[in-house]
Amino acid sequence: MFQAQTYQQRRHDLAALISSGLIFLPSNREASMNCTDNTYPFRQDSNFRYFAGHNIPDLALTIDGATGESRLWGDDINLDHVVWMGEQPSVAELAKNIGAKRGGTQAELSTLLKKHSGDVRFLPPYRAERETFIKEHLGAAAGADEGLIRAVIALRSVKSAEELEQMDIAVKTSMKMHAAAAAHAAPGQLEAEVAGLLEGIAISGNGRLSYPAIVTRNGHVLHNHYHGNILKKGDLLLIDAGAEATSGYAGDITRTFAVGADMTAKQQDVYDIVQKALTDCTAALRPGITYQSIHLDAGRIIASGLKDLGLMKGNVDEAVAAGAHALFMPHGLGHMIGLDVHDMEDLGEDLVGYDDKMKRSAQFGTKNLRLGKELQAGYALTVEPGIYFIPALIDRWAADGTCSDFINFSALEGYRDFGGIRLEDDVVVTNTGHRVLG
Amino acid sequence: MFQAQTYQQRRHDLAALISSGLIFLPSNREASMNCTDNTYPFRQDSNFRYFAGHNIPDLALTIDGATGESRLWGDDINLDHVVWMGEQPSVAELAKNIGAKRGGTQAELSTLLKKHSGDVRFLPPYRAERETFIKEHLGAAAGADEGLIRAVIALRSVKSAEELEQMDIAVKTSMKMHAAAAAHAAPGQLEAEVAGLLEGIAISGNGRLSYPAIVTRNGHVLHNHYHGNILKKGDLLLIDAGAEATSGYAGDITRTFAVGADMTAKQQDVYDIVQKALTDCTAALRPGITYQSIHLDAGRIIASGLKDLGLMKGNVDEAVAAGAHALFMPHGLGHMIGLDVHDMEDLGEDLVGYDDKMKRSAQFGTKNLRLGKELQAGYALTVEPGIYFIPALIDRWAADGTCSDFINFSALEGYRDFGGIRLEDDVVVTNTGHRVLG
């Protein structure tokens, strides 16, 4: 946790942007796994954590939009709970630690919310229990407040020095995970063995993973959480895994290497293109440039490299304009990162990543870019180019003749079992350019 | 997964016990962590898994109570999903693998449920999204079916040989976790470092933890998930952690040891009492005996041992009848274990652990016993005696004079910083006695 002043300042800034109504920011509750009391590891709501700091369930913060007065609500524990949970600070102490007042019990909060239901501003719920709570207290028709969403995004998008310090910690732990994986992955192991090694390191850092790890010899399956394959010598192993620091800030790192072997020339050729995309796109980061333009830079580097390998053809700029590169990289180049790995995704991707000047593309591939708008100093984001050979997608494009002016479908036959390569770093935009985190 | 026949037989047995209505057993959905799409590791609903096998979200099984006809419902994936998730078997194939018919899409299931809402039998929901689904489809007043609950409990309580094989795997991985912790825990480490080591091993076994690990130098705090303390030489480290096998079956093992040192005589004396309780209570397990009586045996062993140490006094049987031992062991001796660590807790603790002949005690301590009823061959359960010195509880009892005929409160002064010791094994009741799993 940061000093009380940090949270006070954030709440002050938020109230200044909102100026009326009652801002309601609940903590998360414990999430049931296979029965009510066997829960997943607790994950705090990132907005609550940003404004109220505490990594504790069943609390809520309210901020009076007009006065900025902040109150923390929750129930103190009794002796029965002490036996199971140990001594815990009172809600009054928790409130004091973040420069807020104690509000009252959960029951008192319920009464307050129902009484002022028309005046309560809240963020979009992403867990069913919060949705139910909001309907019960604020009415079935109550909707999240777009002004509040925009204000929170404005504040959370620009990372402070103390936040970046925490992100460096998260990325350093993430790099340690990848180093251990590279050192220990060997033919004959289950993918799960590598996944356990990685996740164990994140937990040993007194945090957890910031998202489910991808550890796969089938890197062309983009969100592959299956870890049941046995690694063979020379397999390309794609690992996309990041740690969450104790403070809640996320790392998000991807590396790809050949298991127990040097890469073949064929693998290395593709790897070098991805590496060039990572290096050149990172170098281009600075305030004032749009991230969509950097995404398209990556497309051009990939198209140009694949043309050199004989897998694409024609004019590179025209190929990228037509979206031909997206056969090989159907995802976006990156996203904001902070207290969430996809920072503030709960608040709406378009409001986070786009604005009046930059609208989301409708084109296959680029439409998946989460961050398109102009960069500002303090934005933290991922740069994660990749090249994948996805048989089902290749077959569909070949059958439909999609982008056939730019793709050498016959040359792709030899790549059907190649898999995929992705490389990813986390970067902060500075006043003068950028800094790679970690 | 087991053979199709296993699931067919289970569904046949269930229908035979129910004989009418439409049994609705939905799978779990992905559980949102900090936004809709950043999810916790998928955990299947144990009842769905028992009757339908598949470890896949967004499916549902229906069983016609009268005919036993089983249908599997869900949506097949399209090319967009293939890019992200890889090729997946169709719902028709999934149905065939478990000897069921394909039902239809999720939309078709919705229609069916609404049409037959009065006739649908379901189990108690433990996640908010399922509760919402049930209210929307079956009406706000619809309640879980007690006949179905009792039938599922009857089937799941008695473990088959193939289930016990999976439980042995889970317990073996759990023992490996504890062996690694004992070998590597050292003064100067964070508790989290040990927790990461343990959890990494569970994940490397292509499973996960079956419940959040307890790894604490404050073993007297019974459900302590804080891992931020630094271990000191001679600290009693209590580790309660178990693996879930790939098949979903749980292990649940507790060990306590002194960090980087032999136990002191004071620690060893208490340890020996707990060890005797574990050994003697395990030896007493056989069909026909009630688990509450074994729980009270543990109470007598603990009271007798603590009397020898001068911490308790008076007649041991009277002390246990008065509940005096519960100052030191406020929890129950154990619970059923299977596809859930607290097996079938979602179906109701009293229906699982008690019956007409054995009602739950209202006494402090014994009231927390999850399993009290007569044991049958095939029941798998934990035996987990412990002795804890809980300052807040000692102070309350001393102030109230609770059980002052049996407790030497003055002698407890020297134990306020002792912590706690628990030992736990997983055991199956056999026709002739018992077998320790793993």
Confidence of residue B248 (pLDDT cuts 50, 70, 90): very high
Q: Where in chain B is the domain with CATH 3.40.350.10?
A: 4-157
Candidate CATH numbers 3.30.470.10, 3.90.1150.10, 3.90.230.10, 2.40.40.20; the one for domain B161-436? 3.90.230.10
In this structure, how many other beta carbons lie within 10 angstroms of the beta carbon of residue B399? 9
Q: Which CATH number fits domain B4-157: 3.40.350.10, 3.90.1150.10, 1.10.357.10, 3.30.9.10?
A: 3.40.350.10
Residue B273 Cα, gap to closest chain A Cα (Å):
21
ipTM of the complex: 0.95
Nearest by Cα to B50 from B93, B99, B8, B100: B8
Residue among B35, B193, B201 minimizing CB distance to A342: B35
* Chain A residue with Cα closest to B78: A392
Cα–Cα distance, A427 to B79 (Å, whole number): 33
State the alpha helices, DSSP H only, in A205-311.
265-283, 291-308
| Residues A25 and A59: beta-carbon distance below 8 Å | no
How many helices (H) and strands (E) in chain A?
15, 17
From chain B, the residues in CB contact with A128 under 8 A are 127-129, 131-132
C-alpha separations of A409 from A270, A311, A320, A330 in Å: 17, 7, 17, 17
**CB-CB under 8 Å, B192 with A202:** no
Per-residue pLDDT tens digits of chain A, which is 438 residues long: 999 999 999 999 999 999 999 999 999 999 999 999 999 999 999 999 999 999 999 999 999 999 999 999 999 988 778 888 888 899 999 999 999 999 999 999 999 999 999 999 999 999 999 999 999 999 999 999 999 999 999 999 999 999 999 999 999 999 999 999 999 999 999 999 999 999 999 999 999 999 999 999 999 998 888 999 999 999 999 999 999 999 999 999 999 999 999 999 999 999 999 999 999 999 999 999 999 999 999 999 999 999 999 999 999 999 999 999 999 999 999 999 999 999 999 999 999 999 999 999 999 999 999 999 999 999 999 999 999 999 999 999 999 999 999 999 999 999 999 999 999 999 999 999 999 999
Coil, strand, or helix at residue B434? strand
Written as one letter, the residue type at A224 is: N
Which candidate in B28, B36, B44, B203 is best for mutational testing of the A interface (most A CBs within 10 A)?
B203
CB pairs under 8 A between A and B: 187
- Classify A427 as helix, strand or coil: strand
B204 vs A37, A193, A339: nearest CB: A193
Record the pTM. Answer: 0.96
Measured between CA atoms, how close is A49 to chain B, in angstroms?
11
Q: Pinpoint the residues of chain B covered by CATH 3.90.230.10.
A: 161-436
Residue B297 backbone dihedrals phi, psi, to 5 degrees: -55, -45
What's the gap in Å between the CA of B375 and the closest CA on chain A? 23
Cβ-Cβ contacts under 8 Å, A223 against chain B:
84-85
